[in-house]
Structure 1
């Protein structure tokens, strides 16, 4: 079983509006989700001659999530929702979700939460060309989390955020 940790961090420097905003850093099995994505993406980015694109992500800004509980259960329908997939990371250049997101399908089952079918939507097969290649995430995940551990970690982050972040985000 994989483990997950959600941490609040502040990194307003990369966001286009430079507004200070806590963001949700995600760690899977003790490793940064950004670092894990970079490892998977690097061979594809190298093939395009664009190595800086690999893992070029930022954490999701908490004040943009209208419900972190729903979001990280894969049920939030907002600007972060892409055809049954959930945005887990934002663009590392501007911090805007739709610019360069990392997506995954989140399935909540009775005792586990599964993250699978990761993708960078701008590197889908249908966009492949001589210049832009398809990035295959088949070996990335799936991650299977004990539902109790997952929800405890999520509740802890939401509880911490409720002390410092102004809504519109909702708590569990």
Structure 2
């Protein structure tokens, strides 16, 4: 990995109580859920710790995930991208939003916010810079895994 660049991945987990799959981004192998909890707790934000959950595609129409995680604007969520939803599964309830900027060689996540708490300062959370080829490969793997899980759900 080039200096200053992070590794991105996406974990797909099954939520039996919701009968749905949830997507959690990982940065350098650490779930974004853990990274944001650590940041908010250290900053003394309340509420914090356990407030977020993965994105649940069956609960919200994100559109193609490879477009969503490249920062395509979603109706109702504004110009930023939901990278985590609420722990309840509703992306509109308590989402972690970020600006996602793809370029030729990089994808950058920055300008994080919790839309229901606009006074919170996330300026020292990130930015996270990813190699575009590695990022695209991770998105391809995510899309393939989601397609496989949807196919097995139909059986």
**Residue from 87, 101, 112 that aligns with 2:82:** 87
What CA distance in whole angstroms lies between the structure 2 residues aligned with 1:33 and 1:97? 15
Answer 1 or 2: which has greater helix percent.
Answer: 1
The gaps in structure 2 that reach 5 residues or longer are: none
What TM-score, normalized by structure 2, do the two folds share?
0.86
Q: Any conservation in 2 of the 1:2–1:144 contact (CA below 8 Å)?
A: yes
The gaps in structure 1 that reach 5 residues or longer are: 126-134, 167-172
Q: Helix, strand or coil: the match of 1:105? A: strand
Aligned twin of 1:35 = 34
Q: Any conservation in 1 of the 2:74–2:81 contact (CA below 8 Å)?
A: no
Counterpart check, 1:44 vs 2:44: yes
The runs of 4+ residues in structure 1 deviating greater than 4 Å are none
Aligned twin of 2:51 = 56
| Pairing of 1:1-172 with structure 2 (within 5 A) | 1-13=5-17, 18=18, 20-42=19-41, 43-45=43-45, 48=46, 50=47, 53-63=48-58, 64=60, 65-79=62-76, 81-82=77-78, 84-92=79-87, 94-125=88-119, 135-165=120-150
Query: Cα RMSD (Å) of the superposition?
Result: 1.6
More relative contact order, 1 or 2 (CA 8 Å, 6+ apart): 1
What TM-score, normalized by structure 1, do the two folds share?
0.78
What CA distance in whole angstroms lies between the structure 2 residues aligned with 1:96 and 1:148? 31
